[in-house]
Amino acid sequence: MTSLLTPFQKAVYAATRRIPRGSAATYAQIARAIGKPRAVRAVGNALNANPFAPRIPCHRVVKSNLCVGGFTHGAAAKVRLLKKEGIVIRNNKVATTCLFNKISK
């Protein structure tokens, strides 16, 4: 299955996998971490096609304004998964204290 992935998708999934349980990161953080800071939308598209969930925890990636954003199974399911991991959500936004800032290549 991994042979069908593009190098970009592999990089996105590797960076996303480094987000620990109980933390979230933004699509922009992932884009910067893989050296493609302008590819925010492409990161979202790659995560939308994630065939490895939950091993690649795409539910931990949120919008830059900290809104939960979309999810294949719906935003409510994403919120449930995040809360189950201990991520604080208020008014459909992730608390800044839950952001993971150590994603790197």
Q: What is the pLDDT of residue 73?
A: 84
Tell whether the model's pLDDT for residue 15 goes beyond 60: yes
Q: State the chain's maximal CA–CA distance in angstroms.
A: 40
Asked if CATH classification 3.30.530.20 holds for the domain at 2-98, the reply, yes or no, is no
Write out pLDDT tens, residues 26-42. 999 999 999 999 999 99
Q: What is the pLDDT of residue 62?
A: 96
Residue of 58, 81, 82, 103 marked active site: 58
Per DSSP, 67 falls in state B
Write out pLDDT tens, residues 57-93. 999 999 999 999 888 888 899 999 999 999 999 999 9
Let me know if 67 is a catalytic residue.
no
Closest CA to 95 of 22, 40, 44: 22
CA distance 66 to 60: 11
| Domain edges within the chain | 2-98
Q: 0.85 exceeded by the pTM?
A: yes
